[in-house]
Amino acid sequence: SASSSHSDSSASIMDALPVHGLSETIVGVLGGGQLGRMLCQAASQMAIKVMILDPLENCPASSLCYHHMVGSFDDGDTVQEFAKRCGVLTVEIEHVDASTLEKLEQQGVDCEPKASTIRIIQDKYLQKVHFSQHDIPLPNFMEVVDADSAARAGELFGYPLMIKSRRLAYDGRGNAVARCEEELSDAVTALGGYSRGLYAEKWAPFVKELAVIVARARDDSVSCYPVVETIHRDNICHIVEAPANVPEKVKKLAVHVAQKAVSSLKGAGIFAVELFLTQDDQILLNEVAPRPHNSGHHTIQSCYTSQFEQHLRAITGLPLGDPSMKTPAAVMYNLLGEEEGEKGFHLAHKLIARALQIRGASVHWYDKPVMRKQRKMGHITIVGPSTGVVKAGLASLLSTGNMESP
């Protein structure tokens, strides 16, 4: 089902290209965090205008966008007002008001991906139900609404048992592990109680976590980025290695599952598919993000077309670019807040100073106004001629100073 979008003749593309920017469509983005910021960076290269809706006056995207509307992307009236000014509406965060997007679509507003996709994905339990209905391999899961159903999940799936919040999850902040039945109530309390909306997931005894970024154009052609390995620490993405060091048949299966998952959803743009690789080379889907993703940050330096440029191409109707790697290997390291405030900035700056001296390393700093522990403040990508070389670069980056090694 993979097809290239390069079949368009250049003559028809030229007819479609406007006189000014590469697309005259004003792209509206709900959310102005680091993903919005990096979308703006890609957009500026092609002179595409990006408008941002974010409540934070000095959000990471605000200094780089064409226009920043200060307001909540979770408020129906605000999103409605914002949408009037955009040619296409997209998201950098899935925790937006899906009902408003549905209403806007009925009024003819072009949302990419579609509101139905956002609605399914923003509720992780609905997402699992959706993918299981589409025959995508997943860890077993069930809704938990009270102590009885939680205990039943424990009996069915065993321990450790993963309890997850259905909504508003990110960076593992909606996950809690119960190692035995006695820990169930603590795990539930840590997530804010049953009323928060929870579900249980069977523990996935993965040997690696993989991710595939899939782009879908408006004509439904799809294009996949190389499979990467994501290494998490405390449930947060920590390091990404591209390409993943797994056998070819595992890569094929990962791409197959990712494409199948994405083809069950509607709309154009980048989708990131998080996967578990098990001991016996099975692939299970963890979750899908309907937007550019941390596992694709390396593409800015390592691929012919970055995930951010690809997202803009996809939603504005430009042909998709080449997702393949132009450097043999890349590794991405997230700069997570180590300490609150000044001390945290100082620690990050020390690491950045070292990165600036490493061959093939590029520093991305998101310019977040507040430093918090475990917050994604920036990232460093190292590209090079082999996995060995880029990993050696990362090891030397992390070898001294106050940052922990992976």
Question: Can you point out the beta strands (E) in 219-258?
Answer: 222-224, 228-233, 236-242
Residue type, 326: K
Interacting positions 269-288 with Mg ion (CB under 5 A): 274, 287
For residue 173, the minimal CB distance to ligand ATP (Å) is 6
For residue 294, the minimal CB distance to Mg ion (Å) is 9
Nearer to ligand ATP, 32 or 174 (CB): 174
Nearest to 380 by CA among 393, 370, 367: 393
Number of residues that bind Mg ion (CB under 5 A): 2
For residue 284, the minimal CB distance to Mg ion (Å) is 13
Nearest to 169 by CA among 224, 209, 216, 127: 127
Nearer to ligand ATP, 49 or 379 (CB): 379
Interacting positions 287-306 with Mg ion (CB under 5 A): 287
The strand pairing partners of 199, in sequence order, are 143, 164
Nearer to ligand ATP, 67 or 208 (CB): 208
Nearest to 6 by CA among 265, 229, 222: 222
Q: What is the rounded CA–CA span in Å between residue 97 and residue 117?
A: 12
CB-nearest residue to ligand ATP? 204
Angle at 107 between CA 103 and CA 113, to 5 degrees: 65
For residue 280, the minimal CB distance to Mg ion (Å) is 23
For residue 54, the minimal CB distance to ligand ATP (Å) is 19
CB neighbour class for 76 (10 Å; exposed up to 12, middle 13-18, buried from 19): middle
Nearer to ligand ATP, 110 or 123 (CB): 123
Nearer to ligand ATP, 313 or 364 (CB): 364
Nearer to ligand ATP, 123 or 209 (CB): 209
Interacting positions 178-207 with Mg ion (CB under 5 A): none
Nearest to 272 by CA among 234, 317, 227, 330: 227
Q: Site residues (CB under 6 A) for ligand ATP?
A: 139, 162, 164, 169-175, 201, 203-204, 209, 232, 235, 274, 286-287
For residue 93, the minimal CB distance to Mg ion (Å) is 10
Q: Are 362 and 301 in contact (CB under 8 A)?
A: yes
Residues that bind Mg ion in the complex, under the rule CB under 5 A: 274, 287
